[in-house]
């Protein structure tokens, strides 16, 4: 297998070699694709991790904010039932408001607004986490595609090359 006479120059020997299918450019393109692909994949993985951590932190913040508001409501002299009413959907709608004084109604409006603000903040944080998570997945997919592209571009084929005149023939 190793000693095949060259049919072109008659005095050389054909040697088995591996050659980039796209020539020297293939070797460069391969690494130009694989290295950024790895970086994008890593960044995607980090985004996913950060997004996941953000999502679980959001739940903690929300629960914390709710218990803070509950504490303020009961400290303002309202019952747990009133606190439950506001914290369940942000509006005092199951309690008979006719029993409340004007001052108490103003207090309640404040707690309702506070709950609303907490929810908006939580929603924004949640959306940011979801976006980071989405970017992470996109990064993983894009990075993987770029790496795959690099591997395809960098495919090497077997050739027989003459050690004397340099002619090459495909060896399949």
Q: Which residue has the tokens 């495919």?
A: 155
Tell the smallest beta-carbon distance from residue 6 to Zn ion (Å).
Answer: 3
CB 136 within 8 A of CB 51: yes
Measured CA to CA, the distance from residue 54 to residue 100 in angstroms comes to 40
Rank residues 6 and 147 by Cβ distance to Zn ion and give the closer one.
Answer: 6
> Within 13 Å and on the Cβ side, how many CA atoms surround 160?
15
Rank residues 32 and 169 by Cβ distance to Zn ion and give the closer one.
Answer: 169
Tell the smallest beta-carbon distance from residue 47 to Zn ion (Å).
Answer: 55
Tell the smallest beta-carbon distance from residue 1 to Zn ion (Å).
Answer: 17
CB 163 within 8 A of CB 15: yes
Rank residues 4 and 100 by Cβ distance to Zn ion and give the closer one.
Answer: 4
Rank residues 142 and 167 by Cβ distance to Zn ion and give the closer one.
Answer: 167
Tell the smallest beta-carbon distance from residue 10 to Zn ion (Å).
Answer: 7
Measured CA to CA, the distance from residue 64 to residue 156 in angstroms comes to 59
Q: Which residues bind Zn ion (CB under 5 A)?
A: 6, 8-9, 12, 162, 164-165
């Amino acid at each position: 297998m190793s000693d095949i006479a060259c049919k072109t120059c008659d005095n050389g020997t054909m040697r088995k070699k591996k050659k980039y299918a796209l020539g020297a450019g293939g070797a460069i393109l391969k690494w130009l694709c694989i290295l950024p692909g790895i970086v994008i994949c890593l960044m995607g993985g980090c985004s996913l991790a950060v997004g996941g951590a953000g999502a679980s932190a959001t739940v903690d913040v929300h629960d914390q904010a709710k218990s803070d508001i509950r504490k303020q409501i009961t400290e303002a002299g309202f019952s747990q039932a009133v606190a439950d009413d506001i914290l369940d959907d942000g509006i005092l709608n199951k309690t008979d408001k006719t029993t409340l004084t004007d001052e108490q109604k103003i207090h309640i409006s404040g707690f309702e607004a506070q709950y609303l603000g907490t929810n908006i903040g939580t929603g924004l944080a949640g959306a940011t986490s979801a976006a980071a998570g989405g970017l992470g997945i996109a990064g993983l997919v894009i990075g993987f595609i770029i790496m795959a592209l690099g591997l395809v571009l960098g495919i090497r084929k077997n050739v027989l090359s003459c050690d004397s005149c340099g002619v090459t023939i495909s060896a399949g």
